[in-house]
Structure 1
Amino acid sequence: MSEQNVHPSPPPSPATSESPADCPLPEGWLRVESMDMDAQGVAHRPDGKVVFIDGALPGELVSAQTKRKKNNWEQAELTAIHRPSSLRVRPGCPHFGLHTGACGGCKMQHLHISAQVAIKQRVLEDNLWHLGKVKAETILRPIEGPAWGYRYRARLAVRHVIKKGEVLIGFHERKSRYIADMQTCKVLPPHVDAMLVPLRGLIASMEARDTCPQIELACGDTVTALVLRHLEPLSEADKTRLRDFAAQHGVQWWLQPKGPDTVHLLDPEGAAQLAYRLPEFDITMPFKPTDFTQVNPHINQVLVTRALRLLAAQKTDRVIDWFCGLGNFTLPIATQAGQVLGIEGSEALVARSRENYGINNAQMPANQALAATEFVARNLFNMTPELLMADGVADKWLVDPPREGAFALSKALADIHQARIGGIGAEDAPPLPAGHEGWQPPQRIVYVSCNPATLARDAGLLVHQAGYRCVAAGVVNMFPHTAHVESMAVFERSPA
C-alpha cells in the first residue's frame, strides 16, 4: 500500500470527530499519540499495550494490521486513516510509501517539514532527560535548510537483476535487503537525480555489470565524484564507457578495486579538485570522495557558524577540537583562537587536516594568518585522565564524535573531577598523574552529535560527575525526511 493510497474511512460520528482523549473509539481504531525515533506512530490498545504503527502520524485516528506481536508491544502497519493529521502532506517522491518495493531511504516524507523538526527536538529533549537526567537551560532555535536536493553524499547500491534484464541503482527497499527500483530521488541534488536512469543504462552496457556492487556519490561545490566499486579489473572498453559518461554528464570517476585505501581517479591528469568552501571563514576544504564530510553542505555552513559563535573563542584561548576529521571545525576555529589542537583517530584524516591547514594558511593575508595549529592521531575511545592531561590545558573544547559518542573522553573528565573532590569512585580510582594540580578542565564545551542517545549519556556524565551545566541544546535538521537526529549542546563549567 502506498502512502498516497491509504484510504480514509467514512466520516466518523460527531462525538468521534471531536475525539477527546477519553472518548471511546470504535472497535479496532487507534489514537496515535506520538512518534518514535524510527518515525513510527505510537498508540495504545484499550488494555494499555503499546502499538507502533508504520505510516501513522501523531493526532490521527487509524486502523492498523499487526505484523509482529510481543508481550508488551505490537508492531503494525497502517491500513486506514479515519481522521488524518493536519500535518500530513503528499510525499514528494513517488518511491516513498508503505507498499512493497518502496524505497527505505526516507521515513518522514508524509509529515510536514516543520513537524519533522519539532519531533526531532522532542526526541533530543526526551533523550537528555530520560537517559542523562539533564535538562538544557535554553533550547536553541533549530538549524534548518533545503528540504530537497540536499544530499551531497550517498552510497548507492548497484545490482544487475538478470530476471528483470535491467540494472537497479539506489537505496534499499524499506525493511529489505533488495534494492528499490528507483527512477528518481528528490533528496539527491537535481543533477544527480537526473543521472539515475542514465547510470542504470551505463552499468547495464558494461562487461563488468555483474561485479559492480556500489557507487558512492561525493559532491563538492564544483565537482561531482562517483566512486565505482568493482570486484574484477575493468576492461579498456568499460573504462571508455565510463569516460564517455563522465564527459556527457560532467562527473569525475574514481575506481575502488578493493578497500577504501585503493580508491583512485580513473584519469588523474588535469582532474579538478573535489572541495567545499566555508565562505564565512574564507576556508576551502579539499577532500577525497571516501573522506568523511557532512551529507548536507547547506546545513554544514550554518552548523559551523553556530558552533563557533557558541564556542566564542578569543585570541587568548587555546582550543581543542576532538574528533577533528578533515578540520571542518578546526580551521574555522583557527581564524578566531590563539592556539588550536585537532585530535582524530585516523592517521589518514590527520594527514589531510595538516594539508588543508597548510593550503588555507598560505592563502591568508599576512595579518589574518591562522592560529598555530597542531594535529595528532589518537584512539579517542581509549581516553584516560593521564592521556587527557597530557594534551595540556585548553580554555574551550569542540567535540564532534561519531555515533558512538565521546564516552571515554567524558568519563576521563568526570574521573578527574571526582578524584579532586573525593566523589563517586574516588577511593578505587588510580591516582591522578604527577603535576595534575596545574591542569584545569575547559570552561566551555560545544558538543556536536549525530546520536541523541549517546549525547544524553555523555551529558549525564558531564553534568552529574564532571562539574558542568548544560546551558543550551538544539537540533540540526541535517537529514530532512529521515528519522536521523543531529544536535548540538553547550556545557559550561559550574562555579567551584
Structure 2
Amino acid sequence: KQRVLVGFNEKATRYVADMNSCEVLVPEVSALIAPLQEMIVQLSIRDKLPQIELAVGEANLAEAGLINNRPVIVLILRIMAELTAQDETLLKAFADVHAVQIWTQTKGPDTIKPFYPQDNASLPSLKYSLPEFDLTYPFKPNEFTQVNPQINQVMIRRAMQLLAAQAHEKIADFFCGIGNFTLPIARSGAQVLGLEGLANLVDRANESAVLNGVTNSQFGVADLFKMTPEALTALGRFDKWLVDPPRDGAFELIKSLDASNSPQRIVYVSCNPATLARDAGVLVNEKGYVLKAAGVINMFSHTSHVESIAWFELA
C-alpha cells in the first residue's frame, strides 16, 4: 500500500507487474522506472493516471542545444482528472531532472498535447533514421513506429533483398504507416504507392518524402480491411507488393486478388505468425502463388513475439 506500480500489464489481465528495470526498454528509459514510481506516488491524481505511453527517438545533437547522445524521450500521461498546481510542479521538476518531455492525454488521441516544455517548436523532435538508404523519419509520440530501431534496419534490408525492386517497376506498399518500407523502395528508382488506413500517418509519410527529397512515391488513405476486388483493380496493376499489416493480417486484401490485379511478387512482413499462416494459405491454395522463402526476425527481444517475413512468387 501507498506504493505505485510502474510496469507492463500481466498477460491476459489488467494487473500491472511490479518492476524496477526492464531489459526490453532502452537503458535510459529503464532507468526511469524507479524515479517514476517515486514521483507518481506524490501526485494528487495518482489514482487517475492509469497509463503512461512511451516514445523514444534518436538523439539529434544539432537540435535544441543538446550536448550529449541521449535519446529523445517522451512520456504521454493518460490523466483522468485535472492536475493541481503541485502536480504540475512535480511533473516539471521530473522532466527537468531526467531530460524528458511530458505530454498529456485527457480523452481520445486528438487530445494528446505537450505539457512540459510547452514551447513545442523548441522541443527536440522524435525521429529515426535508415542510414543505409539515407533516410530520416520524423514522428509524433502517438504515431506507430517499430519498437526496435536497430532490428528495423535489419528487417528493411532483408525485405529489400527479397523484393528486389527495379527502377522500371510499379510497386505497392500496403499498410505503409509513415513510409517505413515505402521510401527505401523508392530509393531503388521504382514508382511506389503507399496505402494506409490512418490519415495522420499518411500525412507524416508525405512529410518524410519531402524531407528526404523523394519524388517517386505517392501515399493515400484506404481502409485495407474492407478491400474488394473492384477497389484493388481500380488502383492499377503493380509488379510487386510489400505488405506489412498489423496483427489482424491482410485477409481481405489477399482475398481480393484476381487475374487482373495480381502482382508477380509479394513480400509479406508480419508481427503475427498465425495470421501470416492464414493469409499464406490463401495465397498458395487459392491465388496461384508459391512460397519461395520465409523466416523470423527477433524484433521483440526478451519476449515470445517475433516478426516474420515471407516471399511469394506468382506461379
Residue matched to 2:306:
485
Give the AA of the match of 2:178: L
Bigger Rg, which one? 1
Matched, 1:388 2:240: no
Give the match's secondary structure for 1:237. helix
Which structure 2 segments of 5+ residues have no match?
60-71
CA offset at residue 440 of structure 1?
4.8
The total of aligned residue pairs comes to 300
CA distance in 2, matches of 1:392, 1:311: 19
Q: Does 1:211 pair with 2:48?
A: yes
2:2 counterpart of 1:165? yes
Q: Equivalent residues in 2 for 1:70-469 (5 A)?
A: 164-173=1-10, 176-222=13-59, 223-266=72-115, 267=118, 268-361=120-213, 370-413=214-257, 416-417=258-259, 439-469=260-290
C-alpha contact 2:254 2:282 (8 A) present in aligned 1: yes
Q: Alpha-carbon deviation of 1:173?
A: 3.7
Q: Which residue of 2 aligns with 1:8?
A: none
The SS at the match of 1:166 is coil
Q: State the shift of 1:186 in Å.
A: 2.0
SS of alignment partner, residue 219 of structure 1: strand
Q: Report the CA distance shift for 1:384/1:175 in structure 2 as closer, same or farther (over 3 A).
A: closer
Counterpart CA distance in 1 for 2:218 and 2:14 is: 43
Kindly report the root-mean-square deviation, in angstroms, between the aligned alpha carbons of the 2 structures: 1.4
CA distance in 1, matches of 2:208, 2:88: 31
Contact persistence 2:189–2:216 (CA under 8 A): no
Secondary structure of 1:492 counterpart: strand
- Against the structure 1 CA distance between its residues 174 and 467, is the aligned structure 2 distance closer, same or farther, given a 3 Å change threshold? closer
2:80 partner letter: L
Structure 1 contact 335–371 (Cα < 8 Å) conserved: no
Aligned to 1:474: 295
- Where 2:226 maps in the other structure, the secondary structure is coil
Give a deviation string over 1:73-98, Cα, whole Å, max 9, x none.
Answer: xxxxxxxxxxxxxxxxxxxxxxxxxx
In structure 1, the residue corresponding to 2:278 is in which secondary structure?
helix
Q: Is the 8 A contact 1:340 1:371 kept in 2?
A: no
Write out per-residue CA displacement over residues 92-137 of structure 1, whole angstroms, 9 at most, x where no aligned residue.
xxxxxxxxxxxxxxxxxxxxxxxxxxxxxxxxxxxxxxxxxxxxxx
Shift of 1:233: 2.1
Following superposition, the deviation at residue 443 of structure 1 comes to 1.2
What fraction of aligned residue pairs are identical, expressed as a percent? 55
Q: Secondary structure at the match of 1:482?
A: coil
Structure 1: give runs of 5+ residues left out of the alignment. 1-163, 362-369, 418-438
Give 3-state SS (helix, strand or coil) of 1:336's partner.
Answer: coil
Distance 1:174 1:452, change over 3 A: closer
Partner of 1:104: none
Question: 1: CA distance between counterparts of 2:295 and 2:8?
Answer: 29
With the length of structure 2 as denominator, give the TM-score of the two structures.
0.92
Residue in 1 that maps onto 2:69: none
Does the 8 Å contact 2:232/2:261 carry over to 1?
no
TM-score normalized with structure 1 length: 0.59
Change (3 A) 1:176 1:392: closer
* 1:302/1:192 CA distance change after superposition, 3 Å: same
Q: Which residue of 2 aligns with 1:78?
A: none
SS in 2 for 1:401: coil
Give the distance between the partners of 2:146 and 2:223, measured in 1 at CA: 22
Q: Does the CA-based 8 Å contact 2:40-2:46 persist in structure 1?
A: yes
What's the CA shift for 1:236? Answer: 3.2
Q: State the shift of 1:207 in Å.
A: 2.0
Change (3 A) 1:350 1:216: same
Structure 1 contact 344–350 (Cα < 8 Å) conserved:
yes
1:306 aligned partner, one-letter code: R
Hey, what's the Cα distance between the residues in 2 that align with 1:236 and 1:269?
24
SS in 1 for 2:162: helix
Following superposition, the deviation at residue 192 of structure 1 comes to 1.2
Moved over 2 A (4+): 172-178
